[in-house]
């Protein structure tokens, strides 16, 4: 299960039925993802993105007001897509402990497997508050669920969400780096659960249990 599952045109593929304009826009988003992943948000230039998308330089501004707008759109598109996939996969998990564990592992899995997403996400995370907010929404609900279920022993507030959420991003970063292997997700999940007050034994058990068919699921 390597990192190099080739998979281009993630967003463009979904717009075959839409107008030409929407398709161009999607192609730009895909290209931007690739370039962001390669070079980072600031280092990516509009011309490189359009070159990657096989378009003329000026076409960019028909679809986006700004480089900044593109950045946002790309990040949120990725986040939304990941969220959608995860919602699907997690729809019938009730236990907050399992949800947090599965969510973290699954997220890291998806992001690192999907070409360009992992890096793009890492690169954008600390720069785009919108991204952190968006991701935080999901996490927060599970944390609150855990408190309600009496399994997390720590009050949920923005700060907690940021801290627990950042652990996911840091683990993803290590994964992309090569600093950490495929076990990064489990390790991160275990740490989160310990932090949240789950018994260490249980945390380890849940975080390292096989992910089930979900893994091979909607990876595209």
Residues of this chain that bind DNA (CB under 7 A):
19-24, 43-48, 55-63, 66-68
**Closest separation in Å from C-beta 162 to a copy of itself:** 6
Given the complex with a copy of itself, which of 10 and 176 has the nearer CB atom? 176
- How many contiguous H segments (helices) and E segments (strands) does the chain have? 10, 0
Rounded to 10 degrees, what is the CA torsion of 189, 125, 86, 163?
40
Name which of 71 and 106 has its Cβ closer to DNA: 71
In whole angstroms, what is the distance from residue 173 CA to residue 119 CA?
Answer: 8
What is the enclosing helix (H) or strand (E) of 70?
Answer: helix 67-90
Question: Binders of a copy of itself among 47-86, rule CB under 8 A?
Answer: none
Least separation in angstroms between residue 61's CB and a copy of itself is: 11
For 29, how many CA atoms within 13 A lie in the half-sphere containing its CB? 25
By beta-carbon proximity to a copy of itself, the closer residue of 12 and 120 is 120
Tokens of 145: 């669920």
Site for a copy of itself in 159-188 (CB under 8 A): 159-160, 162-163, 166-167, 170-171, 173-174, 179-180, 184, 187-188
For residues 16-35, which are near a copy of itself according to CB under 8 A?
none
In the complex, what is the shortest distance from the CB of residue 187 to a copy of itself, in angstroms, rounded to a whole number?
A: 6
User: What are the structure tokens assigned to 206, written together?
Assistant: 């849940």
Of these partners, a copy of itself, DNA, none, which one is at the site of residue 154 (CB under 5 to 8 Å by kind)?
A: a copy of itself
Q: CB of 32 within 8 A of CB of 49?
A: yes
Q: Determine the Cα–Cα distance for residues 182 and 172; give it in Å rounded to an integer.
A: 10
170 binds, among DNA, a copy of itself, none (CB under 5 to 8 A by kind): a copy of itself
CB 184, min distance to a copy of itself, A: 7
Tell me whether residue 150 or residue 213 sits nearer to a copy of itself (CB atom): 150
Least distance in angstroms from the C-beta of 129 to a copy of itself? 9
Burial class (CB in 10 A: 0-12, 13-18, 19+), 157: exposed
Distance CA 84, CA 128 (A): 20
Task: Using the structure block, give the residue that is written with the tokens 């990657």.
Answer: 52
Q: Which residues does 2 contact at the CB level (< 8 Å), separation at least 6?
A: none
Question: Rule CB under 8 A: which residues touch a copy of itself?
Answer: 42-43, 126, 153-154, 158-160, 162-163, 166-167, 170-171, 173-174, 179-180, 184, 187-188, 191, 194-197, 200
């Amino acid at each position: 299960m390597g990192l190099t599952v080739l998979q281009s045109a993630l967003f463009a593929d979904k717009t075959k039925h839409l107008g030409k304009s929407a398709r161009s826009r999607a192609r730009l988003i895909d290209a931007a993802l690739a370039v962001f992943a390669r070079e980072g948000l600031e280092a990516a230039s509009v011309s490189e993105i359009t070159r990657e998308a096989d378009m003329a330089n000026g076409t960019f501004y028909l679809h986006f007001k700004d480089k900044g707008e593109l950045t946002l759109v790309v990040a949120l598109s990725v986040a939304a897509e990941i969220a959608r996939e995860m919602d699907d996969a997690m729809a019938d998990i009730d236990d907050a402990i399992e949800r947090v564990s599965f969510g973290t592992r699954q997220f890291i899995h998806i992001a690192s497997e999907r070409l360009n997403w992992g890096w793009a996400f890492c690169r954008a995370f600390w720069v785009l508050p919108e991204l952190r907010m968006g991701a935080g929404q999901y996490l927060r609900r599970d944390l609150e669920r855990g408190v309600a279920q009496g399994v997390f022993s720590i009050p949920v507030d923005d700060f907690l969400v940021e801290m627990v959420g950042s652990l996911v991003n840091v683990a993803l970063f290590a994964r992309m780096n090569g600093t950490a292997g495929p076990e990064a997700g489990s390790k991160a999940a275990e740490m989160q659960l310990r932090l949240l007050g789950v018994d260490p034994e249980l945390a380890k058990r849940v975080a390292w249990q096989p992910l089930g068919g979900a893994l091979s699921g909607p990876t595209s």
